[in-house]
């Protein structure tokens, strides 16, 4: 039998109203596809374990995410997992309702496929270490240089932490939104905070 973690119940309870039915649905699907799955909380959000990492889900202010640990291998066996208009963490884009997900039957099939990979002891392929250098806009760096603490924090960040801030600012469609995000980013970095500091250690 599988094992549920009360911290996941707490995580769902604290999530936004739109996210609760999505997270409950995903949780139900994972247990249906892999009855022996065990829940845990890693990096502040729910993970599902079965002979290793299986999949995970998370909720944010405006969307949820869901993804499989061995996504590349699962795609090879099952084909494209979902059509994604707005990429996000995981393989199903920005999920705002259960209707944004594939059918329950399809999701259960994906979970079974992921569990089968773990049963077979198949390892996830090594990720390429060769990464393109992060392109940081001149206006972004100019704003940082006006605040010594923010600049020092940014310079000391890992590549992924830098990328999260740069993408958040540059992906804004309206100039007003971009400037507002930039000001917020500088303030947060001046306080030594990563982009998603609100969600770290929340549960």
pLDDT tens digit string along 19-61?
A: 999 999 999 999 999 999 999 998 889 999 999 999 999 998 8
pLDDT tens digit string along 117-168?
A: 888 887 766 655 556 788 899 999 999 999 999 999 999 988 888 999 999 9
Beta bridge partners of 57: 66
**What is the reported pTM?**
0.58
pLDDT of 80: 47
| Domain ranges within the chain, ordered by starting residue | 6-119, 138-199
Higher pLDDT, 44 or 199: 44
CATH 1.10.10 fits 6-119, yes or no: no
pLDDT tens digit string along 47-104?
A: 999 999 999 999 988 899 998 888 777 664 444 454 444 444 567 888 999 998 989 9
pLDDT tens digit string along 177-193?
A: 999 999 999 999 999 99
- CA–CA separation, 44 and 57 (whole Å): 11
HEC profile of the chain: CCECCHHHHHHHHHCCCCHHHHHHHHHHHHHHHCCCCEEEEECCEEEEECCCEEEEEEECCCCEEEEECCHHHHHHHHCCCCCCCCCCCCCCCCECCHHHCCCHHHHHHHHHHHHHHHHCCCCCCCCCCCCCCCCCCHHHHHHHHCCHHHHHHHHHCCHHHHHHHHHHHHCCCCHHHHHHHHHHHHHHHHCCCCCCHHHCCCC
């Amino acid at each position: 039998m599988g094992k549920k973690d009360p911290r996941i119940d707490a995580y769902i309870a604290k999530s936004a109203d739109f996210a609760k039915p999505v997270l409950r649905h995903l949780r139900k699907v994972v247990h249906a596809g892999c009855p022996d799955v065990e829940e845990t909380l890693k990096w502040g959000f729910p993970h599902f374990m079965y002979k290793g990492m299986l999949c995970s889900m998370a909720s944010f202010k405006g969307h949820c995410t869901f993804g499989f640990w061995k996504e590349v291998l699962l795609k090879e066996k099952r084909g494209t997992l979902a059509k994604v208009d707005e990429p996000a963490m995981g393989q199903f884009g920005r999920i705002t309702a259960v209707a944004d997900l594939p059918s329950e039957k399809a999701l259960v099939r994906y979970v079974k496929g992921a569990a089968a990979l773990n049963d077979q002891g198949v390892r996830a392929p090594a990720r390429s270490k060769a990464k393109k250098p992060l392109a940081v806009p001149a206006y972004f760096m100019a704003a940082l240089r006006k605040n010594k603490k923010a600049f020092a924090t940014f310079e000391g960040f890992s590549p992924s932490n830098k990328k999260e801030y740069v993408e958040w600012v540059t992906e804004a469609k309206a100039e007003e939104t971009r400037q507002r995000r930039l000001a917020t980013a500088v303030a947060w970095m001046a306080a030594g905070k990563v982009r998603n500091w609100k969600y770290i250690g929340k549960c």
